[in-house]
């Protein structure tokens, strides 16, 4: 089965073709990072206009790289949420158009769940049940995927997403955008014990996260040094920040794995490409727990992960109507709710 995935939820226009849910034939990503850089964040209107410009060439390239024709496809999946409304509409509308014109099965894909499914592209034997953690620029979601692959939300951030915190701290330290890779780079030379940053503890059974307190502590620390005309130890601050983030994420993650009695943990999203966090989690994982990370290019937004999840859905006959609309606020049902989500 050849499935095309289309992804335009944020600032990457992506299309890819995956065979049998695991073999990536093409994975084309046109990033807008250089355009949004000067604004230190994504400008929604610019993002959607750029998607319109490049979506067709990106799809053409995905077909060319995969050495197939549009008519060779057996199905198509596109991200329908969460994300920026104007951006989501571009990929979703094009995917529906292709599906309609060729009579192909179409399925709307939850971007966050797709981030976790990136792991199945590399580890086809990864099995359910599992605990998943999506750590990206807009999201920090701790989820439980039961044997039937239904996804339940265990915890989320109460303020900044973890990638957003990386971006904001990078800005305070006058590094580049996006902040994650810049922080990871300078942190290598820093002392992670140098700055004592807050570690907010919620109630024992709570799986929510908070990162804005750490960011604010760094902002005040830097301001104080500036007032005293003392040089800013950017590497030490970056290393201390990264360590605190790794500790906070790991604590909740391992607690959730123990509560749900799972052996497998799958991580996804741009922040999952951070080597320090990967190594910290692997080193501190309780015995018997295996942690899966996608390779760095499959951690950040891409369409192969969308095609992978679309394959699993289409194979089970779980397609979407062509009337499906973009859902910018799409999330996962919580353990106690019955709301539907993909």
Q: Which residues bind ligand KG4 (CB under 6 A)?
A: 10, 136-138, 163, 166-167, 178-181, 184, 269-271, 273-274, 300-301
Closest contact distance (angstroms) between CB of 268 and Zn ion is 8
Q: Which of the listed partners (ligand KG4, Zn ion, none) does 190 bind, with a CB threshold of 5 to 8 Å by partner kind?
A: none
Q: How far is CA 249 from the centre of its chain?
A: 15
| Comparison of 13 and 300: residue with beta carbon closer to ligand KG4 | 300
| Cα–Cα distance measured from residue 40 to residue 65, given in angstroms and rounded to the nearest whole number | 32
Residue 180 interacting entry, from Zn ion, ligand KG4, none, C-beta within 5 to 8 Å by type: ligand KG4
Tokens read off for 35? 């355009």
Assigned token pair, 101:
């014109």
**How many chain residues are in contact with Zn ion, going by CB under 5 A?**
2
**Cβ atoms of residues 298 and 167 within 8 Å:** no
Q: Does 141 bind Zn ion (CB under 5 A)?
A: no
- What is the three-class DSSP state of 17? strand
Place of tokens 């093409």: 26
In the complex, the smallest distance separating the C-beta of residue 320 from ligand KG4, rounded to whole angstroms, is 21
CA dist., res. 93 & res. 4, Å (int): 14
Which partner from the list Zn ion, ligand KG4, none does 80 bind, CB cut-off 5 to 8 Å by kind? none
Nearest approach, Cβ of residue 14 and ligand KG4 (Å): 10
Per CB under 5 A, which region of 87-95, 130-138, 151-159, 169-177 contacts Zn ion?
Answer: 130-138
Q: Of the listed pieces 219-227, 252-260, 294-302, 328-336, which binds Zn ion according to CB under 5 A?
A: 294-302
Counting Cα atoms < 13 Å in the Cβ hemisphere of 211 gives 27
- What is the spatial distance between Cα 80 and Cα 88, in angstroms, rounded to a whole number? 6
List the single partner that 91 binds among Zn ion, ligand KG4, none, CB under 5 to 8 Å by kind. none
Closer CB to ligand KG4, 104 or 265, in the complex: 265
Report, in Å, the least distance between residue 269 CB and Zn ion: 6
Which whole-number Å values give the CA distances from 80 to 97, 122, 129, 226, in the listed order? 14, 24, 25, 45
Contacts of 191 (CB under 8 A, 6+ apart): 235, 236, 239, 240
Residue 136 engages Zn ion in binding (rule: CB under 5 A) = yes
Structure tokens at 172: 């305070």
The secondary structure of 207-235 as a DSSP string is --B--HHHHHHHHHHHHHHHHTTPPP-HH
132 binds, among ligand KG4, Zn ion, none (CB under 5 to 8 A by kind): none
Beta strands in 115-261 (DSSP E): 130-135, 140-145, 151-156
Asked if 331 interacts with Zn ion (CB under 5 A), we say no
Q: Which is nearer to ligand KG4, 2 or 134 (CB)?
A: 134
Q: Is 301 in the site for Zn ion (CB under 5 A)?
A: yes
Q: Which does 181 bind (CB under 5 to 8 A by kind): ligand KG4, Zn ion, none?
A: ligand KG4
Nearer to ligand KG4, 242 or 319 (CB): 242
Q: Which residue has the tokens 């949420």?
A: 81
62 makes contact, choosing from ligand KG4, Zn ion, none, with CB < 5 to 8 Å by partner type, with none
Q: Which stretch binds Zn ion (CB under 5 A): 15-23, 151-159, 199-207, 296-304?
A: 296-304
| Interaxial angle between packed helices 234-259 and 212-227, expressed in degrees from 0 to 180 and rounded to the nearest 10 | 160
From the list Zn ion, ligand KG4, none, partner contacted by residue 326 (C-beta under 5 to 8 A by kind): none
Tell me whether residue 288 or residue 329 sits nearer to Zn ion (CB atom).
Answer: 329
Q: What count of Cα atoms within 13 Å lies in the side-chain half-sphere of residue 259?
A: 15
Which residues of the shown chain bind Zn ion in the complex (CB under 5 A)? Answer: 136, 301
């Amino acid at each position: 089965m050849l499935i095309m995935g289309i992804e335009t939820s944020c600032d990457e226009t992506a299309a890819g073709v995956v065979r049998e849910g695991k073999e990536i034939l093409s994975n084309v990503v046109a990033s807008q990072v250089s355009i949004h850089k000067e604004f230190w964040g994504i400008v929604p209107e610019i993002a959607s206009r750029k998607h319109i410009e490049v979506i067709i060439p990106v799809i053409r390239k995905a077909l060319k790289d995969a050495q197939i024709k549009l008519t060779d496809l057996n199905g198509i999946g596109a991200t329908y949420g969460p994300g920026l409304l104007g951006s989501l509409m571009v990929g979703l509308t094009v995917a529906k158009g292709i599906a309609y014109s060729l009579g192909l099965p179409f399925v709307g894909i939850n971007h966050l769940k797709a981030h976790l499914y990136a792991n199945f592209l590399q580890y086809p034997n990864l099995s359910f049940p599992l605990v998943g953690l999506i750590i990206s620029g807009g999201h920090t979601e701790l989820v439980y995927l039961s044997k039937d692959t239904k996804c339940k939300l265990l915890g989320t951030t109460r303020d900044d997403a973890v990638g957003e915190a990386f971006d904001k701290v990078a800005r305070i330290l006058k590094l580049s955008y996006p902040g994650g890779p810049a922080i990871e780079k300078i942190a290598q030379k820093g002392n992670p014990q140098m700055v004592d940053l807050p570690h907010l503890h919620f109630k024992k059974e709570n799986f929510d996260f908070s990162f804005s307190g750490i960011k604010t502590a760094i902002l005040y620390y830097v301001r104080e040094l500036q007032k005293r005309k003392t040089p800013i130890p950017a590497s030490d601050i970056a290393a201390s920040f990264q360590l605190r983030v790794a500790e906070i994420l790991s604590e909740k993650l391992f607690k959730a794995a123990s509560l749900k009695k799972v052996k497998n943990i799958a991580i996804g999203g741009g922040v999952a490409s951070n080597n320090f966090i990967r190594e910290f989690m692997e080193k501190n994982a309780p015995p018997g727990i295996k942690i899966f990370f996608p390779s760095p290019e499959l951690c950040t937004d891409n369409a192969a992960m969308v095609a992978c999840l679309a394959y699993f859905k289409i194979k089970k006959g779980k397609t979407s109507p062509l009337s499906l609309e973009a859902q910018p606020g799409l999330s996962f049902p919580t353990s106690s709710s019955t709301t539907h989500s993909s």
